[in-house]
Amino acid sequence: MTDAAKLALQLKSEIEMSGLYLVEKDGRVRRNPDAGRGKGYVPPWTWISVAVPDEKKYGPDGRLTPEYLKLVTPGSDPNSAWRDMYQEGGPFRFRSMWNDEDGTYEGKIDWLTLATTIGAGGVVGAGIAAAAGGGAGAGAGATAAPAASGGIPASSLTGAAGVTLPAGTASSGAVPAAMATGGGTASTLGTIGRYAKTASDVGEVIGSATEAAAQRQMLEEDKLNNAANTDIRGEEAFQNALIRQAQLGLDANSQNIQGEKSYQDTLYNRERLGLDTNGQNIQGEQAYQSELQAIARTEADQRGSALKDVYRASVAGNPSHSPYNPVPTPTLSEAYRQTLANLERQGAERLTNPAEYDTRTMRPPTPYTPYVAGANLPPVRPYTPYSVPILPAPRPYAPRNPDVSTSTMQQIGNWIGPTLSVLGAVGRYARR
């Protein structure tokens, strides 16, 4: 299990919380089909963006931190945090490329270059066998040798730009005729040696030139990759800035809504206080009038009792008896007469002064003025829905697949050169 897989398992909850990806048991991360972004596995520099919180993505200046940039940079970049996963290509292998079908990051075998190189090696081997057969003196076999070997055409070795074949190379591209005319082992080996030396020089020149061209190609692709990564980071920073700006607008709109609500609540509470005050005023006036009426009734009752006392004393002091009434006139005691006299005097004193709580002298009730709620309130401002400004659509990411595979001519030069050097040594040995 790679470090990326371990990290994915550790951050499984954060990754799956986004709804974009799912983490499998072996640590590979694949797209969530329900998210509508297709299927397949994604590399760690893709899913890490949803696992890292925003406070760790941006520095105090609002820019992406160098640590986060390393995490979202593909493994092919030397500055990537996943550089250990990357493998450079070899003579017969491409450099690492992400495979979204099985979630691997490795280079595939360059079967075309391998087959071509093996075929070129077979041609040289056939030439050696044919030359050896010609040295035995068999005329028919020696004559057939060049046709069987096919030689190494000079035109096939000039594919590399700027390569000039050494002087003495057979223009026809076939094995020199001396290799097929017999003449003894030493003569044949000498011919092979001379041909091999020239071919070896050609192979070394082709190998060096094509290797330099490949290095230039690699440097150019690295520049393009770095430029693409810079564009990606710049686009991401631009989109993040737009999102933050839109979020600021949403926050400001939310604060405006809360401020308007607070203002309206304050006005409502003030009007509510006015209503409560008006209600208390009504209750106070009503209580005052009720007290006046109660006192007036009490005073009226007292004046009525006083009038009865005066009348009662008057009747007792001036008795009258009908001759037809058989009942004798009652005799009143002195104490009763004295009591009636006192009550008569008190009643007369009360009735002498006018009633204090008379409807003619009481203050009239305060007329009720209806209280209009909200009369002093400003109209409520209608809510205007806030629309997030239309943000420019992010540029879709275009995966780069740079062609940095080693060319076929370089492979031929690198692999035929040593073989031809061996033939040159054989030729030098034969000429001694």
Confidence check: pLDDT of 291 > 70: yes
pLDDT of 417 > 70? The answer is no
Helix (H, G, I), strand (E, B) or coil at 31: strand
Residue 363, both tokens:
């203050």
Asked whether residue 170 carries a pLDDT value surpassing 50, the answer given is no
Mean pLDDT, the chain, whole residue set: 73
Q: How far apart are CA 111 and CA 96, in angstroms?
A: 15
Reported as a pLDDT band with limits 50, 70 and 90, residue 424 is low
Over residues 359-375, the mean pLDDT reads: 77
Note the pTM of the prediction, 2 decimals: 0.32
- State the pLDDT at residue 345: 93
- Interval 265-271 mean pLDDT: 84
Instruction: Provide the pLDDT for residue 46.
Output: 92
pLDDT-derived band at 326, boundaries 50, 70, 90? confident
The predicted pLDDT at position 308 comes to 94
Confidence of residue 245 (pLDDT cuts 50, 70, 90): confident
| Confidence category of residue 135, pLDDT binned at 50, 70, 90 | very low
The residue extents of the domains of the chain are 3-106, 113-229+408-431
Residue 259: pLDDT band by 50, 70, 90 thresholds? confident
Residues 104-120 have a mean pLDDT of 74
The string of pLDDT tens digits covering residues 81-95 is: 998 888 887 777 788
d(CA 319, CA 327): 13
The C-alpha atoms of residue 432 and residue 420 are separated, in whole angstroms, by: 19
Tokens of 352: 């002498």
- Assess whether pLDDT exceeds 60 at residue 377: yes
266: left (phi over 0), alpha (psi -120 to 50) or beta: alpha
Over residues 344-365, the pLDDT tens digits come to 999 999 889 888 888 777 788 8
- Alpha helices for 11-110 (secondary structure H): 12-17, 44-51, 54-57, 66-71
Average pLDDT over residues 233-262: 85
Q: Report whether pLDDT(1) > 70.
A: no
What's the pLDDT score for residue 335?
A: 92
